[in-house]
Amino acid sequence: MPVFRIFLLVGLLLLQLPALAEPEIKIPDPSRVVVIVNRDSNDIAFLDMDRNELVGRVYLGKNVNPHMAMMSRDGRWVVTGGTRANKAYIIDVATLTLVKEIPVDFAPEHLAFSPDGRYYYQGNPDGDSVSVIDMATFTEIRRIRGFAEPLNITFTPDGTKAYVANYGAHWVGVVDVRRHELVKKIHVGEVPAIARLDPDRYLGEIRGISNATITPDGRYLYAADGDLGLVAVIDTREDRVVRRIRVGADPWRAYMKPDGRYAVVVNNGDETVSFIDTRRNEVVATFEAGPDMIGVDFAAGKAYVISSSSSFLYVFDMTRLKPVGRIKIGDNLQLETATTDVAGHRIYLAVSTNHSIYVVDALTDTVTRIPHVGLYPWGTSVLDSKNNYCH
């Protein structure tokens, strides 16, 4: 009975296929890796935190230029936006495979996961939109429009709302996460009437809000506005500004100390750093720092301010609120952003010009270089770190 034999043979072959195709697990514990975005080699690399060695990388394609990468809260996926490919990418962390490319809007950069991990919001600054990616189906289920250069997205801890910072405007957008709709625009401050006499400054280029930083309890947001030189404190229950705090010139954004006690604002217009006491909502110290500050990481009771073009980390004691010195990373380097491990002891700093990650031990302020992580590392992130952010 040749037909029966043929079917039997085919059946046996089909049963073997899953075993033959089963992928190798490359990352058994996603909480022990640092995710590295390599902008020019167009890949996402993974660094083992215990051995300080690369364990793998996922190539995204030519001319993708990924910007920011984050791991989903369950540690299963890494997502990133390809700024020049106008796509979102989903990577399987365990097997380090690219599982999906999702067309989004123009120049995707920063992103955020909803607290339940069901969605991630991809900001598309050049498209003035936010793409809603469903993590169950890996599809863009909605594209929310109406923003002005949306840079960063912040979810409330209960996941009902998301706040979108607009660098091209002076308002923070409120998104209803259940309906994925922009429902409100919170006006953060007035441009002074005397601005009419200064068209070069106010019409030439707009420096609005790059991020609305949330307190750990989700009660307040701190939104720094570059042109207005202030930080607006927004009550998330009422979605209104309850206080405006003047800081230095051209503040980039506020970085929240993990316990929520202080917000540190970097002011690139006058190269100072302002420390806001969140209980009194006022500036309690302003110190000189360096040029082109793009990040602050909190570790071992200190704040490390990244001055991109000077190659320095400026260090401040967060107990006494005083400067304690600075760490020179190297010569002719451009520092990018950094993250910390969950314990808050080590900082993983991306340095683009020499293709390295620098590990700063915050307990001893010693620095170790890990070279050849990829071309032009742009940022890092760690699962559950309290210091995940991007430029």
Residues lying near other proteins in the complex (CB under 8 A) are found at 1-3, 39-42, 62-63, 65, 84, 86, 103, 106, 192, 194, 197-198, 200-201, 228-230, 245-246, 277, 282-288, 312, 314, 320-326, 328, 331-332, 353-354, 375-376
CB 63, min distance to other proteins, A = 5
CB 371, min distance to other proteins, A = 9
* Burial (CB count within 10 angstroms: exposed 0-12, middle 13-18, buried 19+), residue 305: buried
Residue number, 53 or 200, with CB nearest to other proteins = 200
Residue number, 31 or 353, with CB nearest to other proteins = 353
CB 103, min distance to other proteins, A = 6
Residue number, 258 or 325, with CB nearest to other proteins = 325
CB 174, min distance to other proteins, A = 26
Cα-Cα-Cα-Cα dihedral sign, residues 205, 207, 208, 211: positive
Closest by CA position to 75, among listed 129, 30, 134: 30
CA torsion, points 353, 100, 115, 86, in degrees to nearest 10?
50
CB 75, min distance to other proteins, A = 30
Closest by CA position to 47, among listed 388, 386, 377, 271: 377
Residue number, 49 or 195, with CB nearest to other proteins = 195
Residue 7's H or E segment, with its range, is helix 2-21
Give the Cα separation of 214 and 208 in Å (integer): 18
- Enter the tokens of residue 21: 């195709």
Give the Cα separation of 391 and 387 in Å (integer): 12
CB 250, min distance to other proteins, A = 11
CB 87, min distance to other proteins, A = 9
Residue number, 240 or 246, with CB nearest to other proteins = 246
CB 269, min distance to other proteins, A = 10
CB 283, min distance to other proteins, A = 5
CA torsion, points 83, 85, 90, 95, in degrees to nearest 10?
-110
Residue 8's H or E segment, with its range, is helix 2-21
Neighbours of 372 (CB within 10 A): 11
Residue number, 113 or 167, with CB nearest to other proteins = 167
Residue number, 175 or 357, with CB nearest to other proteins = 357
Strand order in the sheet with 356-361: 335-340, 346-351, 356-361, 366-370
Give the Cα separation of 321 and 191 in Å (integer): 31
Burial 22-31 (b: 16+ CB within 10 A, else e): eeeebbeebe
Residue number, 49 or 375, with CB nearest to other proteins = 375
Residue number, 97 or 309, with CB nearest to other proteins = 309
Give the Cα separation of 51 and 370 in Å (integer): 11
